[in-house]
Structure 1
C-alpha cells in the first residue's frame, strides 16, 4: 500500500510539475521533455487562437520519454512547455523537435497574449523554414528576466511521428552538428563509394550480382538521406508531391534490390526453388505497394506500416534461406553471413522502432546506420571473395577485364586530349575577340563588358588546366618544362587581371617587383604563372574589404641560382590554424559557419603545392581568422640574364614575313587573322586542313607555318611528317613549323617534337609569345640559310 501511494504521488507530482513549472536551461534539473505536455487533436485542424481562447478541449498529458514515438499516424498533435530566463540578458537557444521528414512543424511563442509563429516541416519549401537546417529546428530568443510559453503543432502524412525536445545553446547546437556531419560523412561516403566501386565491377565483369548490390547500396544511401532530411535540403528543397514520397520510394527500392542481390548471390533459384517462390511473392508485394503509393493520400498512408512489415518479412526470408542452404550443406561465404547478421540487427531495430515495438534512444534511432555500415563492410568483403572465385573459375574473364582496363586507360587519355581541345578552341575565340576589342581602348560599359569576358575566360581556362593537371598528378605524369622566360612580363599580366577584379570588389590593390628580380630565368613559365595565379585568385576570392598586396623579390644564391619570393597579403577572412594543414588536400573546402559563403578552394592549392614541390620550392601560410592571410612562395630558379640588355632589333621586317596558318575552325581562323594583323604581319594565307596546306606549299613560299593538330582530312601531325620527309617537299623541309593547338596534354607536346615541329604554343594564343616565337624561328632559319 505504501509503494502504491508513493507511485501515485510521483505520477501526480510529475503531472503537476510538467504543467506548472517553466524549464530553465541554465538552472533546471532534468530535461525539457519532463516539463512538457502533448495532446492528440486527431483530424481537427485547430489553430493557435483556438487553443489560446480555450476552445480546443485538448487533453494535455506529460511526455514519458525523451524522444516519444506516436507510431504511424496522420493525426494532429500539439506540444506545450514554458521556458524561463532569469538572467539580465536575452538568451538564444536552438530547439530540435520532430523527425526531419515530419510534414508540419509550427512553433508558437506566446507573450502577453500575443504570439510569434515559426514554421518548419518538409511540407513547405526549405527556404521558408525559420532555421534552414535539414532537421526540424527552431531558433528561440528568450527576453531577459522572462517566462515564455511555447506551443508546437505537429502533423505527418502517415509516417512515424516522434516528439523529441532537445534544447541547446548556439555553441552546443553547432558543435553537435559538426560531430554529426563527421559521422554522416563517413557513413554516406562509404555507401556511395561501395555503390560506385561495385557498379564498376558490374561493367567490367557483367555479373548482375554486382549491379543489384550497387543499386541496393545506393538506394539505402538515398533512403537514409531522405530520413535525415538531406534530399529535402539539397535535391527537393521545394517539397511537394515527390518529396512527400521519397522515403517510401527509396525504401521500396532498397527492399527490392536487397532481395534481388541475396537471391542471386545465394543462387536461390538453383538451390532452393520452393524458397524462390517466396521471393517472388515479396517482389509482387513491393510492386503493389509502389502502385498504391501514387493512387491517393489515403493509400499512401497505408503503405508506411505495410512497407515496414514487408521489410521485416524480407529479413526473415533471407535468414530462413541462409539456414536452409547451410542445412543442405551449400557453401556460403562467411563474410556474407556476418554482413546479413549486422543488416538484420540494424534494420530490425529500425523497423521495430517504427512500429513502436522498441523505445526511442540514440542506439535504436541510428541502429539502421550502424547495421548498414558494418553490413556494407562485410558484404563488400564477400563481394571481393566473389571476384576471386570468378577469377579462378573464368580465366577468360580476366583477359577481358584486362583488355577493358587498357581500353579505358586509352580512352581516358583520348578523352582528356579531346576535352582540352574542344574547350580551349572556343575559349581561344572568346579571348581573342576580347583582347582585340580591349586593344581598341573601349570606354564605359563596353570596357567593363570585355574585361568581364576576358576574366571569365581566364578563370575557365584555369579550371580546365586544374582538371588536366589533377589527372596528371594522380598518374604521376606532371612534369616541368625548361625554357627561358622573363618573370616580370609573366607576373605583370596575371597581376593586371586580378587587379581589375580586386578593384571591382572595392579592394585596394598594390603590386611591386623588386629591381633585383632577374630579366631572364630558366624554368617552366606556364607553371610559374599558374602558381601565382592560383594564390592571387584565393586572395581576391576570400577578401571582402580592405586590400591585397603582391610583392616579388629575389635573393641571389650559389651556383647562379635566384630564389624568387612571391609574397601575397590580404585582409580577408583568414584561416583557422586547424584548417591550414588541410588546405593542400584535393577538393578542400573553406567554410564559414558551415555555409559556402565564399566557395571552395577546390583543386587550386593542391595543385599549387604539387607544382611548388616540383620546383623544389616552398610555401608558407601565415593567417589569422577574420584578420587576413599572408602567403609566401619561394622558387629557386637558374639565372640566365640578370639585367635588361639593350639589343639591336633583329634584321627582320615583320611585314616581310609570310605566314601559312593551318586551322580548320572558322572562329580560330578569324582570331589568328586579327592576332597577325595586330602584330603587323599582313602577308599570310589560311588553309583549313593539311591537304590544303600541302597544295599551298607546292605553289607558294612561306617563312613560318602555324599548324593546328586536330583537323579533318589530314591532321597537323601527318602534314608535318609529309613536309619533313616527302621528297617533293625537300626544298622546304626545314621551314619553321609552330604547333598552335588547343591540346595542352604532355602527350601532344611530345608528339609535336617527334614528328619534327619546331615549337609549341597552346590556345588561347598569347600574341606576345606567338610574336617572339615567330621572330625567333625566322631568325634561326635565316642564320642556317
Structure 2
C-alpha cells in the first residue's frame, strides 16, 4: 500500500511537470503549470535535480506561493511552449528582491543555460539589471523549453511567484511601479526632513524620533524592494544580507521611542513604560544576534517579526488605556497609528504565513506607512501649535520662545519653500501635461493619483509653514519694455571686473530661453540683481562667485527669472541670520570695516522682489559662503502676428520617418505618445547611438531626435559619425538634441558637434512638432 502511494505521488509529479504553458494560447497563469520541491539543506546541481527520480514535486498553491521563513533549498520547474513561427521574448519576475540566491536553468535538448540573480551576487552580474528578481527568457519558434528555478535564503521568507510578461507588458508594469514607489519614497523623505528640521529648533524629541522612524521605514522598504542592493550595496555581501534586519530593528525601536515621548508614557503610564523598556532590550539582543553567525541571523527573522507584532499590541494597549483614563490624545495620532498598525500587522502576519499573498498584503506596510505619515503630520502640526501656546503662557521666557518660533518659520519658509515646492510643481506640471493627452482610463487614473497626492503634500507643507504678513509698501513699479539680457550683461561686466581685481573666479550663465524683451521696471529689476551680485563679490576674499539664470514659463503667460548667486565668501553668522534682511550692515563692525560699501542691501532687495511678486531666499554658513535665490516673474513682449505666423503649424506634405534615439524606457514611451499624436509621423526607436548608426545605414529617415547621455555610444559621438560623411545619404539629416541637461554650455556644445537644434525635457509637444517640421523644411531647401 505504501509503495502504491509513493508511485502515485511520483506519477502525479511527472504529470504536473509535463504540462506545458503556452503564453500565447494557454488559459490561466504560469503557476498553475509549475511544481516545486524542498530539498532542505542539500546542495544539488541541475543535473542532480533532473536525474533524481526520488524528488517529489508539489503544485503551487497560488500565484505568489510562500514557504515561510526558511534556509532550505527550493526548486521550481515548468515548461514553456512557443507555438508561433517566430521567436518570442518574455520577462519572468519571481522570488522576492531580497532572496539571497535565485538561479534559472533553461534546458533545450542537451544544452543547459544558467542565469543568475539574487542579492548575494554583484548587481552587474544579474542577467537583467533590475531591482527585482527578473529573468529574460527567449523562446525559439515552434519549440518547447523546460525550466528549473533554484531559490535559497538565509532564513528570510521565500516566495515563489511566477509572473510572466511580454516586453511591452513588462515596461508598463515597471512604469506603474516607478510612479507608486516615487510617490511613496518622496512622501517619506519630505516628512522625515521636515520633522528633523523642526527638532533642530524646538528640541522636542518627538520630532527627532519620528524623523528617524520615517527614514528607517524608508530604508526598510528600500531593502525589501531591492533598492538598497541596487543603489547602495550593489556588490551584495555581508551588510547587504543584513540590511532588512538592521533597518527593521531600527524602525521598531524609533517607532516605540516616538510613541513613548509623544504620549509621555513614562509620566502618565509607568507600568506600560516598563513594557517599552522590555521591548528595547529585546531589540538590542536581536541586533547583536544579527552579527554573531548565520544561525543567530536565521533566528532573528521570525523573532523580530513576532517582537514587531508585540510592539504594535503594546502601543495599542497604551493608547486604549490612556483613553480609558480619559487622558487626551490627539485624534489624528490615533488615526495615524491605526493605519500603521493595520499595515504592519498585515506585513508581519504575511511574513509569518498567517495571511495569504496578494497585492494588498504584500504592500500593506507601504499603504499603512503612507496614510500614517499624512495623519501623523497633521498630528505633529497640532503638537507645534500646542507647544507654542504652552510657551506663550510663560512670561519673558515664553515670549522669547514665541519669537524664536516665528523667526524659525520665516527662515524655514524663505529657504525651504523653494526647495520643497519646486519639485512638487514640476511633478504636477508633467502630470497635467500627460492628463491632457492621455486617453487610457487606467493610466489617467494613475496620473490623477500622483496629481492629488502632490496637491495634498503641497497643502500639508503650506499648513505647517505659518506664513507671516508681508509688510505694506507704497513704492509703485513702472511698466515699460526692456531687453533683460542686455541689461544683465552690462551689470555682470561691471562686477566681473571687480571680481578679477580681487583674483576671484567669476562665472555668469544666462538661460538661452530668456525673452528678447519683457515688460517691467528695468531700474528696480536691475537694482535687485546688482545688490545681490555686489554683496557676493564684496564679501568674498578668495574662491569664486557664480551667477546662474534659468528662465521657465510661469502662470498667466509670464516668464520666471530664477537667479542663483553663490559665493565662497565669509558667510553669515548664525546669530544674525534672523535679522539678515534689516541689519546686515552690522557685519562690517564684526570684520573691522575690511569690506567697503553700505552693507548687503538685502532690505531693499527683499522689498523690491515682493513688489515684483517674486521671492528671495538665502542659505549661508559662516566661513563657507552664501547662496542667494531670487525668483522674479516678468511678462514677455509678444510680437505682433505676421503672415509668416501661419506657417507655425503648417501641414507637412508627406509622411516623415523619425528616428528616436533614447535609452530610457519611460522616455521612449513618452516620445512615442507625443509623436504618435501626428498621423504623418512614423517612428523608429533605438536605445543608443550605435544602434542609431546601424539604423541609418539600413534605412532612410527624415529627422533624428537624439538623446545625449546613453550607454555604449552617446549622442555626441553618434552625431560626429553622422556628420563625418561616412553614412551615405545621411550626412545632412536634421538632428535635434532632446535632453534633460538644460545648461547653456550643453546647448552650445550640441551645436558645435553639428546638431541642428536643442530642446530640454520634459518635452513640449507643440514645440517638438514645430522644430521637426522647421528643420525638415530647411533640409529640403539645402538639398
State the TM-score bracket (shorter-chain normalisation). Answer: 0.5 to 0.7
Distance 1:475 1:278 in 2: 59
Counterpart in 2 of 1:576?
A: 671
Secondary structure, counterpart of 2:44 in structure 1? coil
Counterpart in 2 of 1:29?
A: 27
Cα 1:294–1:30 change in 2 (3 A) is same
- Tell which deviates more after alignment, 307-316 or 382-391: 382-391
Task: Describe the superposition over 1:365-402 as per-residue Cα deviations: whole angstroms up to 9, x where unpaired.
Answer: 11111111111111111111111111211134331123
Task: Describe the superposition over 1:337-384 as per-residue Cα deviations: whole angstroms up to 9, x where unpaired.
Answer: 111111111100100000011111111111111111111111111111
Distance 1:556 1:399 in 2: 51
Match of 2:77 among 76, 80, 85: 80
Contact 1:571–1:629, Cα closer than 8 Å, also in 2: no
Deviation at 1:106, TM superposition (A): 0.4
Counterpart in 1 of 2:199?
A: 202
Kindly report which structure 2 residues correspond to 1:578-657, keeping only aligned pairs within 5 A, or say none.
597=710, 601=740, 622-623=767-768
Cα 1:258–1:132 change in 2 (3 A) is same
Match of 1:51 among 44, 49, 52: 49
Please identify the structure whose Cα radius of gyration is greater: 1
Counterpart in 2 of 1:260?
A: 257
Counterpart in 2 of 1:308?
A: 305
Distance 2:769 2:546 in 1: 31
Counterpart in 2 of 1:669?
A: none
Counterpart in 1 of 2:344?
A: 347
Contact 1:263–1:269, Cα closer than 8 Å, also in 2: yes
Contact 2:506–2:544, Cα closer than 8 Å, also in 1: no
Cα 1:131–1:572 change in 2 (3 A) is closer
Counterpart in 2 of 1:331?
A: 328
Task: Describe the superposition over 1:104-129 as per-residue Cα deviations: whole angstroms up to 9, x where unpaired.
Answer: 00000001122000000001011000
Match of 1:113 among 107, 110, 113: 110
Cα 1:361–1:198 change in 2 (3 A) is same
Secondary structure, counterpart of 1:356 in structure 2? coil
Deviation at 1:212, TM superposition (A): 0.6
Match of 1:403 among 403, 407, 422: 407
Counterpart in 1 of 2:534?
A: none
Counterpart in 2 of 1:583?
A: none
Kindly report which structure 2 residues correspond to 1:124-139, keeping only aligned pairs within 5 A, or say none.
124-139=121-136
Kindly report which structure 2 residues correspond to 1:693-772, keeping only aligned pairs within 5 A, or say none.
none
Q: TM-score, normalised by structure 2?
A: 0.56
Cα 1:15–1:60 change in 2 (3 A) is closer
Task: Describe the superposition over 1:242-280 as per-residue Cα deviations: whole angstroms up to 9, x where unpaired.
Answer: 111110111001000000001111110110111101001
Structure 1, unmatched stretches of 5+, are 1-9, 414-419, 433-460, 481-554, 559-564, 581-589, 609-618, 633-785
Kindly report which structure 2 residues correspond to 1:138-287, keeping only aligned pairs within 5 A, or say none.
138-287=135-284
- Tell which deviates more after alignment, 13-22 or 59-68: 13-22
Deviation at 1:191, TM superposition (A): 0.8
Distance 2:265 2:354 in 1: 31
Deviation at 1:55, TM superposition (A): 3.8
Q: Does 1:387 align with 2:412?
A: no
Secondary structure, counterpart of 1:92 in structure 2? strand
Q: CA RMSD in A?
A: 4.4
Task: Describe the superposition over 1:43-96 as per-residue Cα deviations: whole angstroms up to 9, x where unpaired.
Answer: 1110012123x1473221111111110111011111100000010001000001
Deviation at 1:155, TM superposition (A): 0.3
Cα 1:60–1:602 change in 2 (3 A) is same
Secondary structure, counterpart of 1:132 in structure 2? coil
Cα 1:195–1:41 change in 2 (3 A) is same
Distance 1:326 1:556 in 2: 68
Distance 1:250 1:300 in 2: 14
Task: Describe the superposition over 1:544-579 as per-residue Cα deviations: whole angstroms up to 9, x where unpaired.
Answer: xxxxxxxxxxx9979xxxxxx9xxxx9874872757
Contact 1:90–1:143, Cα closer than 8 Å, also in 2: yes
Distance 2:354 2:54 in 1: 30
Secondary structure, counterpart of 1:576 in structure 2? helix
Deviation at 1:623, TM superposition (A): 3.0
Distance 2:173 2:355 in 1: 25
Contact 1:622–1:629, Cα closer than 8 Å, also in 2: no
How many aligned residue pairs are there? 485
Task: Describe the superposition over 1:723-756 as per-residue Cα deviations: whole angstroms up to 9, x where unpaired.
Answer: xxxxxxxxxxxxxxxxxxxxxxxxxxxxxxxxxx
Deviation at 1:203, TM superposition (A): 1.5
Distance 2:769 2:37 in 1: 52
Distance 1:66 1:427 in 2: 68
Contact 2:82–2:142, Cα closer than 8 Å, also in 1: yes
Q: TM-score, normalised by structure 1?
A: 0.56
Contact 1:572–1:628, Cα closer than 8 Å, also in 2: no
Secondary structure, counterpart of 1:163 in structure 2? strand
Deviation at 1:468, TM superposition (A): 8.3
Contact 1:466–1:604, Cα closer than 8 Å, also in 2: no
Cα 1:130–1:89 change in 2 (3 A) is same
Distance 1:557 1:59 in 2: 82
Contact 2:504–2:544, Cα closer than 8 Å, also in 1: no
Secondary structure, counterpart of 2:92 in structure 1? strand
Task: Describe the superposition over 1:297-321 as per-residue Cα deviations: whole angstroms up to 9, x where unpaired.
Answer: 1111111111101100000000000
Distance 2:336 2:59 in 1: 41
Deviation at 1:15, TM superposition (A): 5.5
Counterpart in 2 of 1:764?
A: none
Match of 2:358 among 354, 358, 361: 361
Distance 1:100 1:302 in 2: 20
Deviation at 1:622, TM superposition (A): 3.8
Distance 2:276 2:201 in 1: 28
Task: Describe the superposition over 1:161-207 as per-residue Cα deviations: whole angstroms up to 9, x where unpaired.
Answer: 00000111010111011011111111111111111111111112111
Task: Describe the superposition over 1:9-58 as per-residue Cα deviations: whole angstroms up to 9, x where unpaired.
Answer: x9999866522211001111111111101111111110012123x14732
Structure 2, unmatched stretches of 5+, are 1-7, 393-398, 418-494, 509-542, 565-637, 642-647, 649-657, 663-669, 676-684, 689-706, 715-737, 748-763, 777-783
Distance 1:406 1:591 in 2: 50
Cα 1:318–1:592 change in 2 (3 A) is farther
Deviation at 1:404, TM superposition (A): 3.9
Counterpart in 1 of 2:373?
A: 376
Secondary structure, counterpart of 2:291 in structure 1? coil
Match of 1:288 among 270, 277, 285: 285
Distance 1:354 1:173 in 2: 26
Distance 1:24 1:327 in 2: 61
Distance 1:29 1:106 in 2: 27
Distance 1:71 1:477 in 2: 57
Counterpart in 2 of 1:488?
A: none
